[in-house]
């Protein structure tokens, strides 16, 4: 049975399960990963569209490591349909103009730009011409470089841009993540800003969501112990499901600041706040002393704030023990 994406709240960040080339060239594995990501609650799966020569020289060890991840047009279309059947989006990162042309034939709704190409105007220009939304990773870039790229995309009349804070280390160290850059980038560029994760587990993604990330991209696998690819710093379906659940719980906890005017605990005040009660049987004509009174629950006509003005006041009627002191019990002050 094909897993359908779970409905999530509109306030939660858009979750991208980065499959990359963890499928290792197996369409069967890729389909299982799509179904598992959808079942865990992801909004989208993301692949990588490339020919090995688009990224590395044949003499490079990296060339052979990635060549098995190449996919042709028909394979892309098959995975696009698999994602659609699961009710989630199919995204991919193109690494060349050739890849952009292929993905346009597939019909992708948006493009992810890898950090290595954040300043690559040759590739960015081809992506901009599609008019599709762009998820732009910012690993290794300086603020001026980000600004220049955003200005270029604006000039090219690209689709909308969501900037992704990213540390391009595999895996990234906790002290290098600097997640406060997320709200900083929002303030500087006035754009939606998300987080592309390379930190093991889900803690960094949850922290990014707490800091207001609009998008969370995390590497995804069916087996993080598997050798090769990005498996070792990828999350498995159970961890992704837990991450999404934790983010939704956090969003629920954050709530709405306007509810300060209609707080749900307000009706409890009458039961939890203190009133003023007689500590013993009090007789008419007695002058009140502090030892004559109890300050305890529930709220009564008089509160602890009235205690000072009660001292020395004369009673005009008898009061049984443990009864609320009321203004009507007191003689008028002369």
What string of H, E and C letters represents the secondary structure of the chain?
Answer: CCCCCCCCCCCCCEEEEEEECCCCCCHHHHHHHHHHHHHHCCCEEEEEECCHHHCCCCCCHHHHHHHCCCCCHHHHHHHHHHHHHCCCEEEEEECCHHHHHHHHHHCCCCEEECHHHCCCHHHHHHHHHHCCCEEEECCCCCHHHHHHHHHHHHHCCCCCEEEEEECCCCCCCHHHHCCCHHHHHHHHHCCCEEEEECCCCCHHHHHHHHCCCCEEEEEECCCCCCCCCCHHHCECHHHHHHHHHHHHHHHHHHCCHHHHHHCCCHHHHHHHCCEEEECCCECCCCECCHHHEEEECCCCCCCHHHHHHHCCCEECCCECCCCECCHHHECCCC
Domain around 290: 266-329
Quote the pLDDT of residue 62. Answer: 85
pLDDT score of 334: 62
Q: Does any domain span residue 2?
A: no
The answer to whether 271 touches 259, Cβ cutoff 8 Å, is no
pLDDT score of 1 more than 50: no
pLDDT of the residue at 21: 77
Q: Examine residue 334 and state whether it is found in any structural domain, yes or no.
A: no
238 and 273 fall within a common domain: no
Q: Could you read off the pLDDT of 215-235 as tens digits, one per residue?
A: 999 999 887 777 666 666 688
- Domain termination site, one of 202, 234, 255: 255
Residue 285 region by backbone torsions, left for phi larger than 0, else alpha for psi between -120 and 50, else beta: left
User: Do 218 and 323 fall into the same domain?
Assistant: no
Q: What is the number of domains present in the chain?
A: 2
CATH code assigned at 294: 3.90.1210.10
> pLDDT higher for 21 or 115?
115
Q: Are residues 208 and 113 part of one domain?
A: yes
Least confident among 1-10, 12-21, 261-270, 303-312: 1-10
State percent of the chain over pLDDT 90: 82
């Amino acid at each position: 049975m094909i897993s359908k994406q779970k409905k999530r709240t509109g306030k939660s960040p858009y979750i991208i399960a980065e499959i990359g080339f963890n499928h290792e060239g197996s369409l069967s594995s890729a389909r299982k990963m799509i179904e598992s990501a959808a079942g865990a609650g992801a909004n989208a799966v993301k692949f990588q569209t490339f020919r090995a020569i688009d990224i590395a020289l044949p003499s490079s060890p990296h060339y052979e490591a990635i060549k098995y991840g190449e996919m042709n047009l028909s394979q892309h279309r098959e995975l696009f349909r698999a994602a659609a059947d699961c009710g989630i989006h199919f995204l991919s990162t193109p690494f060349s103009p050739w890849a952009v042309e292929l993905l346009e034939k597939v019909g992708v709704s948006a493009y992810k730009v890898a950090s290595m190409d954040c300043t690559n105007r040759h590739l960015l220009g081809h992506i901009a011409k599609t008019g599709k939304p762009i998820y732009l990773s910012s690993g290794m870039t300086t603020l001026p470089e980000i600004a220049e790229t955003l200005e270029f995309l604006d000039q090219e009349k690209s689709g909308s841009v969501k900037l992704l804070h990213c540390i391009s280390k595999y895996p990234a160290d906790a002290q290098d993540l600097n997640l406060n850059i997320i709200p900083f980038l929002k303030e500087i560029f006035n754009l939606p800003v998300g987080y592309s994760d390379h930190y093991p587990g889900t803690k960094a993604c949850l922290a990014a969501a707490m800091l207001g990330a609009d998008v969370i991209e995390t590497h995804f696998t069916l087996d993080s112990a598997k050798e090769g690819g990005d498996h070792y710093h990828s999350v498995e379906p159970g961890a992704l499901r837990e991450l999404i659940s934790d983010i939704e719980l956090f969003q629920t906890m954050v709530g709405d600041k306007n509810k300060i005017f209609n707080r749900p605990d307000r009706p409890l005040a009458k039961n939890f706040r203190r009133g003023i009660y007689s500590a013993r049987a009090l007789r008419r004509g007695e002058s009140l002393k502090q030892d004559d009174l109890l300050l305890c629950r529930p709220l009564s006509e008089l509160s602890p704030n009235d205690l000072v003005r009660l001292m020395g006041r004369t009673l005009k009627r008898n009061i049984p023990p443990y009864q609320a002191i009321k203004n009507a019990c007191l003689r008028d002050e002369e």
